[in-house]
Amino acid sequence: MKTSPCTKPVHALYPGSFDPFTRGHHDIVTRALRLFAHITIGIGINPDKQPFMPVEDRLEWIRAIFSGEPRVDVISYSGLTIDAAAEIGADTLLRGVRSAEEFGYELNLAQANRNLSGIETVLLPASPELAAVSSSHVRELLGNHLDATAMFPDGAPLHLLP
């Protein structure tokens, strides 16, 4: 049996709404930097959803958090994630998974993306201590005027919160 040399994926696209970007998201990116040479965080724009934070503020927020990491950049995109990945030359999609329910959804999405474009997806499980952190939970806390700062990574420009 002939084998080919193993090559490390070079560029991953980590897509999501990141509204807002949390410690859980940060943990996925930080851990994934051991697997990928470069990660692009892609903020997907859904025109049918009313965002909590404007996309410009989310871009600035994430760029501030990763300002010292040259292997991470941030973009926004609309349309299909596989098209955004092709446009930036990403060879892999990166997704975080917090629960068994999310795993089923992400697995189906990964299979569909591979069938449509050939791109592979790496599903990275959430660190146990961060599995309960979600953007929707953060929005709920902030909407009720409660402190959610413990759910944000160091360096998050909190002045951008609505």
3-class state of residue 48 by DSSP: coil
Please report, as a single letter, which amino acid is at residue 95. Answer: R
Catalytic annotation, pick one of 49, 67, 71, 99: 49
Catalytic annotation, pick one of 17, 23, 26, 135: 135
Taking alpha carbons only, the member of 162, 133, 131 closest to residue 150 is 133
Is 25 labeled as catalytic in the residue annotation?
yes
Catalytic annotation, pick one of 25, 26, 58, 95: 25
Residue pair 61/156 in contact by the 8 Å Cβ criterion: yes
Is 135 labeled as catalytic in the residue annotation?
yes
Is 137 labeled as catalytic in the residue annotation?
no
Is 8 labeled as catalytic in the residue annotation?
no
Most distant CA pair in the chain, distance: 62
Catalytic positions are 25, 49, 98, 135
